[in-house]
Amino acid sequence: MRELFQGELALLGRALADMCALVCTAMEQASAALLDADLHLAEQVITTRTEIGYRGERCEEHARALLALQAPVAKDLRVVVSGLRASERISRMGDLACHIAHIARLRHPRPALPPELREPFTRMSALALRAGRHVEQTVASPAGISLPAMRRMDDELDLLHREVLERLRDADGAYPVRAGIDVALLARYFERFADQAVAVTRQLDYVVTGQVRQPAG
């Protein structure tokens, strides 16, 4: 029975890692759709969202079944509960990538971003993708977790988020209202994507250490 349970945990871990890989691809494509006004990529992300949701539901069902049928305790319980919560967070990351793609599609054939804001969004998209890939690797191999590295990425993205909002404020109405709303929402979506990645990493750190480490500062 013990070997069977460990095998089920391994299956859950692989399913979560595969789901995270799909989310990272969605974020990569959504970023390209935004930066390059690529309608095909935007629509591909929106279509992929259904598959991400389906996989998330399957992971949650798997985790709940393990809780109900195996009644795990101690570290095994932490693993299952963390898997359940990670599935919810990763699914949310997929939602955020889809939101970015929706704005890119809505504004096509024109770019959703003013030319002068392309550079900070290029950096935001790169950081968000790095954060997502870090989660994917951590889910696949929790022993190699690096919570400080994830927090540094999140901090960098937070700074870029504030920079974009400050530039909107300093523009003093130079942008049309619709463009300003788009930019503010897009910056928020990238920032929240990294926040969700941090939350997953913290949850997996809890699996490994048995401790809930609070954010620094």
CB of 97 closer than 8 Å to CB of 45: yes
The architecture of the domain spanning 2-209 is Up-down Bundle (1.20)
Angle at 116 between CA 114 and CA 118, to 5 degrees: 75
How far is Cα 156 from Cα 27, in angstroms, rounded to an integer? 18
Closest by alpha carbon to 211, among 82, 59, 62, 63? Answer: 82
Q: Enumerate residues 6+ apart whose C-beta is below 8 A from 202.
A: 147, 212, 213
User: How is the chain split into domains, by residue range?
Assistant: 2-209
How far is Cα 202 from Cα 206, in angstroms, rounded to an integer? 6
Reported pTM? 0.92
pLDDT string in tens for the chain (217-residue length): 567 788 888 899 999 999 999 999 999 999 999 999 999 999 999 999 999 999 999 999 999 999 888 878 788 888 888 889 999 999 999 999 999 999 999 999 999 999 999 999 999 999 999 999 999 988 888 777 778 889 999 999 999 999 999 999 888 777 888 999 999 999 999 999 999 999 999 888 877 777 766 655 4
DSSP code at position 144 = G
